[in-house]
Amino acid sequence: MSAKINEDLIRERKNCTFDVQELIHIIDGGEENTMQRKQVENFVLNQKELWDDVPEEYLSHKERYENAIKKASFILNWFREFNRNNIENSDLRAPSKIYSIQEGIFRNINPLLIHIGLFWTPLKNQASAEQQAEWLKPDSKMIGTYAQTELGHGSYLKGIETTATFDPQTDEFILNSPQITSYKWWPGGLGKTANSCLVMAQLYINGTCHGLHLFLVQIRDYETHEPLPGIAVGEIGPKMGFNTADNGFLGFDNYRIPRTNLLMRNVQVLRDGTYVKPKHSKLTYESMVLTRVTLITDLGFQLSRAATIAVRYSAVRHQSQIKSNEPECQILDFVTQQHKLFISIASSHALRVIGLWMWNTHKKVTADIQKGNMDELPELHALACCLKAICSRDAVCLVEQCRLSCGGNGYLMSSNLPQIYANTTAAIIYEGEYTVLLLQTARYLIKSWKSATEHKALPPNVAYLADFIERRYGQWQNSPEGIIRGFKAVAAGKTKTAYDTLQRYLKNGREREEAWNLTSVQLIIASEAYARSLLCDVFWRETKQLSTTVSRNLATVLEQLAELYLVYWALEKHGDLLLYSTISRDDIDALQERYEELLALIRPNAVGLVDAFDIRDEVLCSTLGAYDGRVYERLMEEASKSPLNTEVVNESFHKYMRPVLMKNKL
């Protein structure tokens, strides 16, 4: 960190009305977690071999990958030791910022991320005790990935074509990719890194298909790293982002694995070929649900990076005048800039809060499952689907809004905003595509609406459906609680509309899936409304509860952020509120006035709020958003690193341009 701090930032920090350190501890989940995170950062970020002399943008595709693997190997070894020493004494499996330092080290993505997350987690959750004892040894040589998506099928899991056929003679499964569309496509780390793979395939026994199951498959030799016979594997090429990850393709040609490589915690195939089915069909996808839960918190962190960059830049950047005969003002003083950025700060907190709430919900449901109680699994699945979808869309839109708020300099790779956007936008697609996830939640909502009309008991998160039927929402109130009730009315009204439309198609003789397709636009709108009502309800409720445990000044600021979030979305969705609640035009005018009041109230604390995200410059990786505010100096320093600036006249002038100019002269 530079000793010289920009004067504007010094002044902004002096004007902050709350204790920034207190909020840092809250975001980290406690002072102890903050101390632990800083210890990790101080050690890892001081390792010289992790830092590049040449910006990643100037490396070739191959050089980027090799550089990332060098760093990933160091990080993997270090975190293995760290977790071994700390995992028993802290809740490190809960969402944590400790691992966020990787954002600075890789700028792009850790090529071993899938190995750390989507490979080991299913093994722990879906392998039997005997399998875990064999596979999860400390000296394991496996570097893994998770292969589900295929060239021809992504979200439609039933259409997956890879087959695993049981051979009773040899006690093996034979894996095959029947055609080109059957090739696994996209798994991170598959192209060149992984030697093992969790493969989702259709299980066949004696000609009968038992549906999709997970198999542990070795794909490369543990010593030479050469692909094994019967394996076709490689990398799929450059992408919009994540170019340090070797996303790959994988095909099988009569490739044999032991029967015991089927993950058998919830399902079994016995030696004689007897199939023992799982107690619940959704148990196979429990790991995917967990991934969607953790993604919400990750998205909140990415948004906090973008907001930090844009707010600090807006405090340093001076442009135009608000009052005549005064110097050019900070662009953060323009209300339009506050409108773009303060919702990003608020939304980052909303995603962090809903992410932790979902984590605790998942933890409770998982504990119930282990006791044999599956009652809440459908609701957990529905919650994870719609919240992952809406949170990813919100994060992407707001990261882009932060980038646009920085003008032309936000277009520079050195701002890091294009990279944050590229990495964040992928989340709308991976681990469940946006529309498909919302349609999965819609199935839950349609069933819940039917139960509500039959006066059956409803889970707490959809109890608002009964309130809507009984018309218990009452007169509109311009308060946070009133807005939340309004959003619940919108969610219920849109669910009813979708349900009625679906029933109309069915009564007119349409087949179920055809009727579902014809209603699908209304169905996803209902799911979007459900997710928004959950975000508003949980964010406000958890913030109010937190406010009772923190200092008064901080409580005031946190409630302002939460209220800003509610009012912002009430104004964005005022058409829906007019349709389904008792809000009036005067109420909307009052909300607009309150929104602008909140922008003014938050303005003095804007820099303090992003400082409280406590993202080190090495993790932020931005010329625009560093703590010291030396924006223009950093932009010039970064520009000087361009290879084009190593010579005064590029050889292309003499080779190509000069002959053309001389010809024109003649």
Structure tokens given for 339: 């409108």
Of 386, 128, 75, 138, give the one whose Cα is nearest residue 262. Answer: 128
Between CA 608 and CA 616 the distance in angstroms is 14
Q: Which amino acid is at 511?
A: E
Structure tokens given for 547: 């406010």
Size of the chain, expressed as the number of residues it contains: 666
Per DSSP, the chain holds a count of helices (H) and strands (E) of 24, 11
Between CA 517 and CA 526 the distance in angstroms is 14
Beta carbons of 402 and 340 less than 8 angstroms apart: yes
Between CA 24 and CA 30 the distance in angstroms is 8
> End-to-end alpha-carbon separation of the chain, Å?
57
Helix (H, G, I), strand (E, B) or coil at 371: coil
CA distances from 113 to 99, 127, 335, 429 (A): 11, 20, 40, 17
Q: Angle at CA 452, nearest 5°, toward 451 and 456?
A: 60
- 376 assigned to active site: no
> Quick one: angle between helices 377-405 and 335-370, nearest 10?
160
**Catalytic hit among 286, 431, 528, 563:** 431
CA distances from 7 to 36, 331, 491, 628 (A): 31, 15, 47, 9
Q: What is the dihedral of CA 534, 535, 537, 542, to 10 degrees?
A: 130
Beta carbons of 217 and 395 less than 8 angstroms apart: no
Between CA 521 and CA 501 the distance in angstroms is 11
Beta carbons of 452 and 495 less than 8 angstroms apart: no
From the number of C-beta atoms within 10 Å of its C-beta (0-12, 13-18, 19+), residue 649 rates as exposed
Beta carbons of 183 and 250 less than 8 angstroms apart: yes
Q: What is the dihedral of CA 648, 654, 656, 658, to 10 degrees?
A: 110
Between CA 157 and CA 212 the distance in angstroms is 8
For every residue of 439-451, DSSP letters joined together read HHHHHHHHHHHHH
Place of tokens 């929104």: 595
Q: Which residues, in sequence order, are bridge partners of residue 330?
A: 318
Between CA 222 and CA 233 the distance in angstroms is 15
Helix (H, G, I), strand (E, B) or coil at 168: coil
334 backbone dihedrals φ, ψ, rounded to 5°: -75, 130
Of 336, 337, 351, 338, give the one whose Cα is nearest residue 303. Answer: 351
Q: Which amino acid is at 190?
A: L
Q: Angle at CA 461, nearest 5°, toward 456 and 463?
A: 40
Between CA 544 and CA 539 the distance in angstroms is 9
Place of tokens 């690193």: 641
Between CA 619 and CA 626 the distance in angstroms is 10
Q: Give me the active site residues, please.
A: 431
